[in-house]
Amino acid sequence: MSQITGIKAKVDNIIKITLPILDTEGYAVCPDCDSHVNCGTIGLANLEKCHRGRKTCKAAQEKRNKEAKKKKDGTILSFLKPKATIVLPMVNNPAPVHSYKLAPQPTTNQVKAAVEMKAA
């Protein structure tokens, strides 16, 4: 029978080992990758035999480590996009355009009436 190892944690200069615990449904939490593993009827020996040190366990460890690094390195502002630096234009601004109030233009009927008045 193989030896089942657990997580070693140093607390107050005392090394404590926590072993994985099998729940009522036959699942245990892997101490290496923190994933739920179905141990079946064999129990914790199946965790050691079929999961720990295998490809799925190592992949879950790598994924967990990457997520931990992202959380460790960033702050709440890390997920906001950085603002682009402002680039000032190299040309001068053109002079502003002023609009003036125009006199109303006579309509064609008013022009005809004016011509008829001159003619009369």
Is residue 44 domain-resident? yes
Structure tokens at 97: 């355009």
17 Cα distance to chain centroid: 35
Across 75-104, average pLDDT: 78
Q: What average pLDDT is seen over the chain?
A: 76
In a domain, 113, yes or no: no
Domain hosting residue 48, numbered range: 7-73
79, part of any domain: no
Which single residue is written with the structure tokens 């001068």? 92
HSE of 100, CA atoms in CB hemisphere, 13 A: 2
Q: Is 116's pLDDT higher than 60?
A: yes
Alpha helical stretches, state H, the chain: 44-50, 55-73, 108-119
Let me know if residue 115 belongs to a domain. Answer: no
Number of domains within the chain: 1
Q: What is the pLDDT of residue 67?
A: 80
Q: Sorting pLDDT into bands at 50, 70 and 90, what band is 1? A: very low
- Sequence-distant (6+) residues with CB within 8 A of 4 are 19, 20, 44, 45, 47, 48
Please report whether residue 50 resides in a domain: yes
Q: What is the per-residue pLDDT across 12-58, written as a single tens digit (0 to 9) for each?
A: 555 555 667 778 888 888 888 888 888 888 888 888 888 888 888 88
Residue 2 lies in a domain: no
Q: Is residue 103 part of a domain?
A: no
